[in-house]
A and B are shown apart, each in its own frame.
Chain A
């Protein structure tokens, strides 16, 4: 798909003023809904960040105890 085609396709689907960087946002008004503070629980965010937490804990353990303490001579005084 060339740039021109992409723009043409996007332009045809523009809805509303609140738009993409270049004025070509694709939005489907049917699925759009307004979520208020009380209705919204960021469970996806929590899930992503718990995965990140596990990665950090594992990587830290690996870096400290394998890469660092296993890296031969170390300064002890």
Chain B
């Protein structure tokens, strides 16, 4: 087959680009340790979240010296809880699921970003090194009020951080009605 030498050169350059792109991604995974959200979160029944460990009482749980778990329920049109507070220099695993339709979960200004699909649990572990205030937005169209679906994430200096109240701990005797609390993230201008 006749191919001009210049085009052969370009073919080589194109393959170099492709291999370069794939290598960069592999570096990101193996070198920088970036992990894709995957099937580790398992499945839940979206109508039974009130009886599902973790999602029955969404919020922050301390599980180790600098390790926290955050359970978040996405629903039309809010996140529960509407405010998440965490200390800096912590490793945080988010477990996010939906009570109704497909939602998105994006901590704006960071790479913490995942789809939220009813029946599936999105499990992502993120390290927060610096204090700061972030917005969490739903980036997947989820119905007529989609644009009002947001929450906030506050990363505090460790010295300023205390677990907000006892209901956030697994040992709490609080009712599980929180799972159906009024949306709090909603009032957009």
Q: Which of A46, A68, A75 is close to B6, meaning CB atoms less than 8 Å apart?
A: A46
The distance from the CB of A24 to the nearest CB of chain B, in whole angstroms, is 34
Q: Is the CB of A46 within 8 A of B10?
A: yes
Report the Cα distance A76→B126, complex, angstroms.
Answer: 6
Contacts of A57 in B (CB 8 A): 17, 20
Q: B33 near A: Cβ within 8 Å?
A: yes
Contact of A74 among B7, B13, B112, B130 (CB under 8 A): B112
Interface segment, one of A5-13, A15-23, A37-45: A37-45
**Stretch binding the partner chain, chosen from B57-65, B71-79, B103-111:** B103-111
Asked whether A76 and B6 contact (CB < 8 A) given A53-B13, A53-B17, A56-B17, the answer is no
Residue ID in chain A nearest B129 by CB atoms: A73
B126–A73 touching, CB < 8 Å: yes
List which A33-77 residues lie within 8 A (CB) of chain B.
41-43, 45-46, 49-50, 53, 56-57, 60, 64, 68-69, 71-77
Interchain pairs with CB closer than 8 A, number: 70
Measured CA separation A22–B77 after assembly (Å) = 54
CB closest chain-A residue, reference B130: A72
Q: Assess whether B145 is interfacial by the CB under 8 Å rule.
A: no
Shortest Cβ distance from residue B9 to the other chain A in the assembled complex, whole angstroms: 7
B127 touches A45 (CB 8 A): no
Q: Smallest CB-CB separation from A47: which chain B residue?
A: B6
Q: Is the CB of B13 within 8 A of A76?
A: no
Interface size counted on chain B using CB atoms at 8 A: 32
Of listed A60, A74, A76, residue having the most chain B CB within 10 A? A74
Q: A30 CA to B90 CA in the complex, in Å?
A: 76
Partner of B35, one of A43, A69, A76: A76
Q: Which residue of A lies closest to B2 (CB)?
A: A37
Question: B31 to nearest A CB, angstroms?
Answer: 10
B residues in contact with A45, CB < 8 Å: 6
Q: List 26 A-B contacts (CB under 8 A).
A: A42-B7, A43-B6, A45-B6, A46-B10, A49-B13, A56-B17, A57-B17, A60-B21, A64-B24, A64-B28, A68-B28, A69-B28, A72-B111, A73-B111, A73-B112, A73-B126, A73-B128, A74-B34, A74-B112, A75-B35, A75-B111, A75-B125, A75-B126, A76-B33, A76-B126, A77-B125
Q: Which residues of A contact B (CB under 8 A)?
A: 41-43, 45-46, 49-50, 53, 56-57, 60, 64, 68-69, 71-77
Q: Nearest 8 pairs between A and B by C-beta?
A: A77-B125, A73-B110, A74-B111, A72-B110, A46-B6, A75-B124, A73-B126, A76-B33
